[in-house]
A and B are shown apart, each in its own frame.
Chain A
């Protein structure tokens, strides 16, 4: 049971933003612009970074919902999501994305963990300023969302079907504040 009186039966972040829409509207605006608006990274890649960071924070709700969104957006290449969550270093993805996931993983631990070498490696594989910036901010943002969702012990569905539906909704409609 959640630590505070959120709407019953509503999972994860949705229950929290329905409890407090005044802050929820800005949280949804942030994740919409960061994961859906213009970026040199594809929507699928950005959802993958979100799922990877959430998995490292052991936030089941965020990991499962963003993995589902990434699978939906990767379409016929959706198996890369599970490869990355298992071990990104051996996953069938570009060296650039591997280097960016390395940066995201360091940010998840602590900002100071990111060393000049980590950034240099990403640049060597073709990452530009905006890709490096967006990777760091996505990882930092999910370090916030994961703590918000788990810190208040919001409802985490256990049925994989529930997440599959969320993935379709996030892939098709993006982040719309629930009413």
Chain B
């Protein structure tokens, strides 16, 4: 049960974003820009960063949601499985391995990011903007994971819920123009 009254038909983050819309707006806009805006990283690569950080923070809702989103964008589910167990064996580029390593360090603490991991990313061709966006996406999911779990929001157990959510967020993170009443059980 959530610690504050949230709409029952909106588990996880959505209920929180509807609870306080004035703070939700910049959070949504930031996420839309970082994960879906113009970038030399694909939307799927950016979802992998969200996934590995949420997994590190043991946030079940965010891990399931962003795993599902990355799977939809990639068209397979092998990569998300592998980044959670061992980045080095995942079928991603050397640059992405280096960026995912940086993201895992940010998940622990900003101070955990080493000069070596930054050098490795640059040697693999990562630009300053890619490194910046990786750190900020990782930091943003440290916010989301704490927001979702700190207020004890509901984590659905039905895998179909995350499939539906993934379809929605693969299109974008902005609030639906007509709200979320259509998700209420009839």
Contacts and interface: CB of A to CB of B under 8 A. Distances in A.
Interface of A: 3-5, 16, 19-20, 22-23, 26-27, 29-30, 33-34, 37, 57-59, 103, 106-108, 110-112, 114, 116, 119, 129-130, 132-133, 136-137, 139-141, 143-153
A133 B128 CA distance: 35
A147 B4 contact: no
A143 B132 CA distance: 17
Contacts of B20: 130, 133, 137
B3 A116 contact: yes
A141 to B, nearest CB: 6
B87 to A, nearest CB: 17
Interface stretch (B27-35, B64-72, B77-85, B93-101): B27-35
Contacts of A129: 4-5
B124 interface: no
B26 A26 contact: yes
B128 A4 contact: yes
B26 A111 contact: no
Interface string B100-112: 0010011001110
A37 B149 CA distance: 24
Nearest to A114: B150
A88 to B, nearest CB: 18
Dominant secondary structure at the B interface: helix
> Which 9 A/B pairs are nearest by Cβ-Cβ distance?
A111-B149, A150-B110, A140-B146, A26-B30, A111-B150, A151-B110, A4-B128, A147-B139, A144-B143
A144 B57 CA distance: 13
Contacts of A29: 25-26, 29
B49 interface: no
Contacts of A140: 142-144, 146-147, 150
Nearest to B118: A3
B37 interface: yes
B135 interface: yes
Given A147-B138, A151-B138, A3 B23 contact: no
B151 A136 contact: yes
